[in-house]
Amino acid sequence: MQTDYEKIGLKVGLEIHQQLATSAKLFCKCKPELFKEEPEITFLRRLRPTQSELGQIDPAAYFEFQKGVKIRYEADTQTSCLVEMDEEPPHPLNMEAVEISLTAALMMNAKPVDEIHVMRKTVIDGSNTTGFQRTCVIALNGQVKVKEKTIPIQHISLEEDAARKTGEEEGNIIRYRIDRLGVPLIEVATAPVINSPKEAEEVALTIGRILRATGKVMRGLGTIRQDLNISIQGGALTEIKGVQELEIIPLVIEYEVQRQLNLIKISQELQKTGAKEEDLKEEFFDVTPIFKTTKCKVLQKALEKNQKILAAKLPKFKGFLKRELMPNIRLGTEMADRAKFWGRVGGIFHTDELPAYGITEEEIEALRKMVNAKEEDAVVFVADTPENAKDALKAVLERAKETLKGVPEETRAANPDGTTHYMRPRPGAARMYPETDTPPIQITEDYVRQILASLPELPEQKLQRLIRNYGLNQKLATQVMDSEYTELFETIAKENKVSPTTIAVFLTETMKALKREGVQIEKISESQIKEIFKCISSGELTKEALQDVVIWLSKHEGQSPRKAIENLGLKTLSREELEGIINNAISCNKDLIEKSGEKAFGSIMGMVMREVRGRAKAELVSELIKKKLEQTKT
Ligand SMILES: [Zn+2]
């Protein structure tokens, strides 16, 4: 079914976060790198609610604090210091990062602020050791053009990246690694003027290209993250965090639209059934006895741990919990997500999905009776400590009440398949307050003029230049521009007598294909690639043998391309050697040549090429065979 996005009033705003390739982090001198080994240092912190200047405590943070959630931070000394551990105040703002941000901002025609003020933004999940993220606005009111449409850029900011979650442990402990904490991120926020899933992808691509054109951003998965604000008429504003792949942006939006449309429909149907908010009572039934001899493994385990099974009734909700909102995500899944978040339970059971999981018809019957459920009611139950189970059921009831109203405002996180899951409630106002440890930085007109004078080429200009100067077609030029080899391409094309198209195809398509086949192309350095093309340019290597050389080099790290050519026996044949091989082929096929005359050329050519592939240019082989055949005729 084709959705008419205009009719449903789709509005999307993008927030693009891109890690900058600076030599140090934003507020200290640590390297902005990730470590893979075991941590050298770990330390445990209790999550504490941060109090903003207005004296408001974030309800979700306060809740986690009450739950006694602790964070185990992992660190090593290369990538973090006392600043990341919140044992020392931040150092002055990294001016290299400021300059990159200003460059990008000016490329988007934004107006730099007169003074940069670092602010603190409350963060509630432990991903920052301080309880807040430092951020500062660099420029305002820019714009980018996407297919004749002007997309306003509301602001361009510079902020510190957060720690990355590495796991969870027993006893309400969440593990975070602080190597990523403090890595400079540029944030580009568009106005919510995007009206279709495809357009959102194009806007993200355009902004991404501008950021990459600065030549100072990190590359690879996880270095760019897109947040989407999505709303439709009659729905609500949903914030979706952490979309890493550009290509899934349209899918995320399509799914979210589907979800909101389905929730609106469910709300209307529920109202027709007579479901009411006041009937959704916080009344919890201890139904443990019913499941004393259950075959359900999950419940058995809970009972072994002496946990309780608590149930709550959702009057007139029968059948609605199994309604699909987007692929594999049902209303019941959303309730389970809430229960997991607020109750820290493993999940919920509900009557819309039963009998299943070893739970029998008889047990459900007894359950319904015990909670006085009518035919049209749904029953939800949870096995955990009574406190967690109650919190989980409260969250389920809360979600049920929201279902009556329509779509709740919330923050969701993107799954790799384009669907999303509940992350937390949307933060209220008063999240920002000034960072008093770093002084403001003036952006003088002189400084701006200086940056403006050496602004990098805009992506559109670069594309046209690649087409014009190197004779690349539009597709290939675009691929070169979007690849990480743009500069390398130009260097090789200028230094060698190899066709730019050959170089471009190799750097984009061939490298990508080899990677897909499992060749570790990241082991090939740029200087090795330059060397390979030098060999082609001088005639030592044929372009047909390019791939073989790259594969060999990926398996023999640090070796020279000449060594590869030697080891693979790919050294170009001399004219004499080649003539010898051709003479041999002709004399072995005298009969054939006599019989089919000029038609024999194809067969001879095939034979010789099989033997000399990668060691001689096809044009030369063809030329020599033709000449020899002429001579044999006479
Ligand atoms: Zn540091």
Give DSSP secondary structure letters for 446-467.
Answer: HHHHHHHHTPPPPHHHHHHHHH
Residue type, 205: L
Instruction: Give residue 116 CA to ligand 1 midpoint distance, Å.
Output: 21
Mean pLDDT over 255-275 rounds to 96
Q: Which candidate, 144, 161, 162, places its Cα nearest to that of 153?
A: 144
Q: Greater confidence, 318 or 617?
A: 318
Mean pLDDT over 181-187 rounds to 97
Pair 505, 476: CB distance under 8 Å: yes
Q: Which candidate, 438, 411, 442, 429, places its Cα nearest to that of 341?
A: 411
Instruction: Give residue 69 CA to ligand 1 midpoint distance, Å.
Output: 25
The answer, yes or no, to whether residue 54 has pLDDT greater than 50, is no
Instruction: Give residue 184 CA to ligand 1 midpoint distance, Å.
Output: 12
Instruction: Give residue 26 CA to ligand 1 midpoint distance, Å.
Output: 9
3-state secondary structure of 624: helix
Cβ-Cβ contacts under 8 Å for 431 (sequence gap 6 or more): 52, 58, 121, 122
Instruction: Give residue 45 CA to ligand 1 midpoint distance, Å.
Output: 18
Mean pLDDT over 91-99 rounds to 96
Instruction: Give residue 160 CA to ligand 1 midpoint distance, Å.
Output: 12
Q: Which candidate, 121, 123, 125, 122, places its Cα nearest to that of 70?
A: 125
Q: Which candidate, 132, 187, 134, places its Cα nearest to that of 156?
A: 187
353 phi, psi to nearest 5 deg: -110, 10
Instruction: Give residue 292 CA to ligand 1 midpoint distance, Å.
Output: 54
Instruction: Give residue 78 CA to ligand 1 midpoint distance, Å.
Output: 8
62 phi, psi to nearest 5 deg: -65, -40
d(CA 407, CA 234): 8
Instruction: Give residue 135 CA to ligand 1 midpoint distance, Å.
Output: 17
Task: Please report the pLDDT score of residue 134 as a whole number.
Answer: 95
Task: Please report the pLDDT score of residue 53 as a whole number.
Answer: 46
Instruction: Give residue 181 CA to ligand 1 midpoint distance, Å.
Output: 9
Q: Greater confidence, 77 or 60?
A: 77
Instruction: Give residue 174 CA to ligand 1 midpoint distance, Å.
Output: 22
Bridge partners for 329 per DSSP? 326
The model's pTM is 0.84
Cβ-Cβ contacts under 8 Å for 262 (sequence gap 6 or more): 323, 324, 325, 326
Pair 239, 411: CB distance under 8 Å: yes
Task: Please report the pLDDT score of residue 1 as a whole number.
Answer: 59
Instruction: Give residue 32 CA to ligand 1 midpoint distance, Å.
Output: 9
Instruction: Give residue 96 CA to ligand 1 midpoint distance, Å.
Output: 16
Q: Which residues surround ligand 1, an ion (CB under 5 A)?
A: 28, 30, 81, 83-84
Instruction: Give residue 487 CA to ligand 1 midpoint distance, Å.
Output: 31
The answer, yes or no, to whether residue 519 has pLDDT greater than 60, is yes
Instruction: Give residue 226 CA to ligand 1 midpoint distance, Å.
Output: 26
The answer, yes or no, to whether residue 494 has pLDDT greater than 90, is yes
